[in-house]
Structures are given as C-alpha cells and as structure tokens.
Amino acid sequence: MKFFLLLSLIGFCWAQYNPHTQSGGTSIVHLFEWRWVDVAKECERYTASENHTALPEGGFPSSPPGDSAVLSCPFRAQGERSQPELRKLCPNSPNDSKFQDRITNCFVQVRIYVDAVINHMTQEGVQAGTSSTCGSYFNPQTREFSGVPFSGSDFNDGNCRSASGEIENYNDPAQVRDCHMSYLLDLALGKDYVRTKVADYMNHLIDIGVAGFRIDAAKHIWPGDIQAVLFKLHNLNTKWFPQGSRPSMIQEVVDLGVDVIKSSEYFGTGLVTEFKYGISLGTVIRKWNGEKMAYLRNWGEGWGLIPSDRALVFVDNHDNQRGHGVGGSTILTFWDARLYKMAVGFMLAHPYGFTRVMSSYYWPRYFENGDDINNWFGPPNDNGATKEVTINEDTTCGNGWVCEHRWRQIRNMVAFRNVVNGQPLSNWWDNGSNQVAFGRGNKGFIVFNNDDWSLSTTLQTGLPEGTYCDVISGDKIDGYCTGMKIYVSGDGSAQFFISNTAGDPFIAIHVESKL
C-alpha cells in the first residue's frame, strides 16, 4: 500500500469495504449450503443467459469450505459446517483442485466470498476420532486438532471468566469474546500462532482467487484480533483483481442497539451485518405494532441503523429465517412469499446499505408449542449426500431448493438496483398508510400497495417519457413486455393501479425496462 504515515492505516481499513463485485454489481447472494459444483453451474448459467436467470453482476458467498464435524446423519444438521476441525480444504468439502476450478469458472461475471469460521472449533462434546468430513484426527476434550495443529494452549479456556466456561453473561464483553459459545471451543486469537494459522487458511483461499470473507461470529472476537489477522492477509490475486486490492470483509455482529458490544467497534475492519434492518422492515411489512410503510420515508440512519456505508443489509439470513438468533417471528422469509418479495423489493430499491439476497432450501416444518422443531434440518440430501440444485423449465429450482434469487421479482429487482446505482432517493409519495412510492433519480421508480384497499393514482416518476415494462409482473424480452406496461408522459407522471389482492402488490420500472 503506497500511503504514508497515518494514512497507511486509514487506507488499509477503507480497503476492506470494497466488495469487488463485477461490472458495478450492487448485491451478493448467499447460496446457502450449495455444493461447489452447483455454484459453478450457477455462474455458468448466468453468464450464458441473456435474461440473467442468476444474480446479475454480483457475488456468491459460500458456506464454509473447510473440514467440519459431521452432525446428525443421515439428515446432516444445518449448523454442521460451522464446527470446523481443520484450517485447510479437503477431499469432501471440497479438495483444492475442485474448489479452485469452481472459483475460476465463476470469475467471468461474479465473485466468490467465503464464510470464514475463525472464532472457534467444534463443540467440546463431539466424540474424538477421525469422523470429520476430511478424515483428520481430532479430540475436542483434550483440545487436540492434529490437522492444524492446535493444542490446549491455543484456546481461551484459561482466559474465560465464567465458572462453566460458557458465556453466562452477555453484558460482559470479555465473556462474550473469551468463553465458549454453545459449547464451541473458543480459539485464542490473541495468540500470534493462532492468528497465523487462521491467516494461512484465509491466504490459501485468497491465492486461489476469492474476493473476500464473511467473518462468522465476529462479535465473539476482539476487534483488535480481527485487525491483527487482516494485517497477515495477502492482497487479492492479480489475475482477477487490480494490483494492491485487499480482501472484502463482512463481519457478523448482532447489535440491536441495547447490546454492550457495539457494531461501531468493528467499523475499522470492514462492513458489519445490520440485524436491525430485517427486524424493523419485517415489522413494518407485517403492519405489526402500528407500523406503516409511510413511516419508511426516513429509512436508514433515521431508524437507528448503522451508517449506510458500513452496513451489510438483508431481509433474512440462514439463521433467523429458521428462528435461530434474533428477530423471531418478525423476520420475513420465503414461507411468507407475498410479503417477503415486497420486503426484498423495498430493500433492493432503496439506496441504504450493501444488500445481500438469501437463497434457501426447504425443510419439513413441524410445530410444537409454536416452535418449528425441524428448523435444524440440513440441506436436501440422499443419505447424507447433498442433492444437486436442479433448474425447472420456468427457471426456478427443484430438488428441495428454494432459490429466492431466481424468483423473477427478486432477480429483476437486483437488476433494478444495478441500474439505479448512485442515484438519490427522489419523488417520495405515500398515502399516510401502507401505499408508498419513490424514485431513484431519473433512473427508476417503484410503487407498493400493502393496504387492504386498492391503489389507483397518478404519480411523478422522474423518468423520461415512454412505455416501460413492469419488471415485477414480467420481463422485457426482445422489445416486448411479458407483464404489465406503464406509460410515462412527457412531464414524468404515470398512472398506477395495484389491487390489494395482487399476488405481487408492487410495480417497478427503470430506464432499461423502457421499450
């Protein structure tokens, strides 16, 4: 980095915020628990598709690619790959050559971001042996992980200030960062040897060609330890990235505004997950607690969210969509498809934050006392082998995969966000209730009707005169609209009608959907 004195530190930190998306892409998609062969196929399907049936010009975060404990066979538990035993790639999850091939194949149009589990190893109660996905010997009871290697002195057992070794008080930052989280063995990242081993693993992935990392459980790591690891990381591979590019960092920090550990503590090392986003937006779209979409006029920092240029935002993620973590029943998911598409549409249309779209799988829901007791189920599988992500004729997914990123409404709103990127929020309109509309400069306009009555009104769009394809009800293909058409007059105004019973109660147009 060619900066001087204090500027060298500032420049290094700022570099972590660049997501390195291709061609001005503005979103990433979490292909949760996808096999790497299917990730590669999705990249190829996107680059070969005129209609962008995968996520346009963004990136694909992966599930953790390293060695992990095998839990609850034959079903394979959802949290399995968050219980690592090695700091390297291996034959089943997958091997280096396959992993490198998948990444290389993706770099025509998208980037790869790896979910990095660096806070902990597997649970203490997991039986010792070689039953991991890579076959390396490990013994959680004696803290022996021969594949790294790690031993007892590489864990925070002696630093934990609770009697049980578990986090007993979440108002004590030292316990949160030095004690076991759900019996997971907490790595001593304050130790240079441990930092080096973690950095070696991440550098291997950087050298292969990944664009960055999501740091799992970053809240449970001291910010200074994350910074120390980052200083050990290589620059990105110059085969795909400009000289001197630093890996992108997204840090998982849960801060609902009342937590003793604050998101702001992690602003210096990269983007931070804004969990209040999905909770607040879900409450508004559900119309709970008297909330109305009209109140979203000052959405963003005005709602107590972290600064936009530090925020990774999402409607749901792999944890809270199944009731794990924060948010509870306020979180909108694919199970509530009509409301969910509206929430994701709003997120992708609004300029706040850097957006992430979820791509999920189904599980057999079974409720007892209001709780889904099957929410731990892992991905679709045949006797433990994860199933292929198959693609239906209508471009949606089969074989038990949800693939929200392929839903026309979400796919086209990602394209909308790319088109309006950099444009300010403009021409806000609301009816004082749950009908709202806004533009993005002179590039795009979106209208929502979340009321119990129909919307019929003329609105100022700010767009050039012409006929536009609504990208929610259809696509623009070969100069024709497969869905509704919206005519914008010479003064920029247009007539909109949305029934309160519409399956997708919103309309979106942008300059590239103009006939």
Contact 261, 255 (CB under 8 A): yes
Element of type H or E holding 138: strand 138-139
Read off the tokens for 64.
Answer: 């953790």
Contact 251, 218 (CB under 8 A): yes
Contact 253, 272 (CB under 8 A): yes
Give the orientation angle of helix 337-349 with respect to helix 275-286, to 10 degrees.
Answer: 120
- Which residue in the list 57, 216, 316, 404 is annotated as catalytic? 216
Residue type, 70: V
Task: Identify the three-state secondary structure at position 117.
Answer: coil
Give the orientation angle of helix 192-208 with respect to helix 96-106, to 10 degrees.
Answer: 60
Is 216 part of the annotated catalytic residue set?
yes
Transcribe 411-464 into DSSP letters.
HHHHHHHHHHTTPPEEEEEE-SSSEEEEEETTTEEEEEE-SSS-EEEEEE--PP
Q: How far, in Å, CA of 401 to CA of 340, rounded? A: 17
- Which residue in the list 42, 85, 115, 252 is annotated as catalytic? 252
Residue type, 23: S
Q: Of 233, 262, 228, 257, which is closest to residue 245 (Cα–Cα)?
A: 233
Read off the tokens for 358.
Answer: 């979820």
CA 52 to chain centre: 20
Contact 217, 319 (CB under 8 A): no
Task: Identify the three-state secondary structure at position 313.
Answer: strand
Is 252 part of the annotated catalytic residue set?
yes
Q: How far, in Å, CA of 308 to CA of 325, rounded? A: 23
Residue type, 33: E
Task: Identify the three-state secondary structure at position 408.
Answer: helix
Known catalytic residues?
216, 252
